């Protein structure tokens, strides 16, 4: 729901889908002329699709959502309202589960990122400045942010053969590190679909394994160190041993699985460190 004086469009980027995406968008375009537009991006990968959409979009404010969310009626208006002035570069809103979602007993939701594999994110009901990146399915930016800082990194984001993510949070972190201001708007709400495939321990383990790989690509070793074996910092092996012991000794299902997730995170880090080291050694 936007004022009639505001011009807007929905740009749907088809990244080699095998369903009826094109037909659905073209039907919407016929029913709502000038409001819906179809764009085909042949290079596979979410970041390629996002960057294609940025290049082709007509607006000065670009809002992002995925194809598996349902937006509240006031979503677009509330998300973009902070950007109509010159105080904020970008904004992010809450990503909530569908109303009938019940977390399994093995999943702890006590930490701020425990639900990240489900693409759920919120930081309370108080609007204000953000000191952390919002998630990609509910965020908006001035076009100038991309002109100044570039697009989404194409070595991050889901693509064939890998589910490495963080293309959204890496871009937002670039802005924050450059002292650009992001705004949290809790009234900008989307409801994320949580299918059965995501409510599996194997999915969470794989997601955090790949997320840890993405973190190494973005941040490198934290803390930096020269002490490595096969390119892998020695403290990573120590962390792996500690979390493995905690996993074996944990009693409650949620605590036990939380420790197991940390084991997989460290395995992901070890894999990425070694992968980078091995690639460097193979380069002539």
* Biggest CA pair distance of the chain: 63
- Residue 74: both structure tokens together: 């006031």
Would you state the pLDDT for residue 227? 94
Is the pLDDT at 175 greater than 90, yes or no? yes
One DSSP character per residue, the chain reads ---TTS---EEEEESS-SSSHHHHHHHHHHHSTTTEEEEE--S-SHHHHHHHHHHH---SEEEE--TTEEE-TTHHHHHHGGGSSSS-SEEEEEEEE-TT----TT----STTTTGGGT-B---S--EEESS---TTSEEEEHHHHHHH----TTSS-BTTB----HHHHHHHHHHHTT--EEEEEEEEEEE---TTTSSHHHHHHHHHHHHHHHHHHH-SSS--S-EETTEEHHHHHHHHHHHHHHHH--SHHHHHHHHHHHHHHHHHHHHHHHHHHHHHH--
pLDDT tens string 126-162: 999 999 999 999 999 999 999 999 999 999 999 888 8
Would you state the pLDDT for residue 113? 87
Would you state the pLDDT for residue 86? 82
Average pLDDT, the chain: 92
Would you state the pLDDT for residue 75? 95
Is the pLDDT at 53 greater than 90, yes or no? yes
pTM to 2 decimals? 0.90
Is the pLDDT at 284 greater than 60, yes or no? no
Would you state the pLDDT for residue 129? 97
Would you state the pLDDT for residue 272? 96
Domain ranges in the chain are: 60-192, 201-282
Which residues lie closer than 8 Å to 60 by C-beta, 6 or more apart? 142, 143
Identify the band that residue 104 occupies on the pLDDT scale cut at 50, 70 and 90.
Answer: confident
Is the pLDDT at 239 greater than 80, yes or no? yes
In 3D space, the residue among 12, 7, 137, 14 whose CA is nearest the CA of residue 59 turns out to be: 7
User: What does CATH list as the number for 60-192?
Assistant: 3.90.550.10
């Amino acid at each position: 729901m936007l004022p009639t004086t505001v011009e807007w469009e929905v740009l749907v980027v088809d990244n080699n889908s095998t369903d009826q995406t094109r037909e659905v968008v073209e039907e919407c375009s016929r029913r709502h002329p000038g409001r819906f537009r179809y764009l085909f991006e042949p290079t596979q990968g979410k970041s390629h699709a996002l960057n294609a959409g940025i290049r082709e979009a007509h607006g000065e404010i670009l809002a992002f959502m995925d194809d598996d969310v349902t937006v509240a009626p006031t979503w677009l208006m509330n998300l973009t309202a902070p950007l109509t002035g010159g105080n904020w570069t970008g904004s992010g809103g809450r990503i909530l589960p569908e109303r009938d979602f019940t977390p399994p007993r093995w999943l702890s939701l006590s930490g701020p990122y425990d639900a990240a594999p489900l693409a759920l994110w919120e930081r309370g009901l108080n609007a204000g400045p953000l000191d952390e990146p919002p998630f990609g399915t509910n965020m908006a930016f001035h076009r100038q942010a991309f002109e100044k800082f570039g697009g989404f990194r194409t070595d991050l984001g889901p693509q064939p053969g890998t589910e490495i993510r963080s293309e959204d949070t890496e871009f937002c972190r670039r802005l924050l590190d450059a002292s650009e201001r992001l705004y949290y708007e809790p009234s900008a709400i989307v409801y994320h679909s949580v299918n059965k495939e995501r409510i599996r321990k194997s999915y969470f383990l794989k997601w955090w394994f790949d997320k840890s790989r993405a973190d190494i690509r973005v941040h490198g070793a934290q803390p930096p160190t020269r002490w490595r074996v096969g390119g892998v910092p020695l403290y990573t092996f120590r962390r792996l041993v500690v979390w493995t012991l905690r996993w074996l000794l944990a009693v409650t299902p949620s605590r036990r699985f939380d420790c197991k997730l940390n084991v997989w995170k460290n395995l992901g880090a070890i894999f990425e460190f070694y992968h980078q080291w091995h690639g460097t050694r193979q380069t002539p």
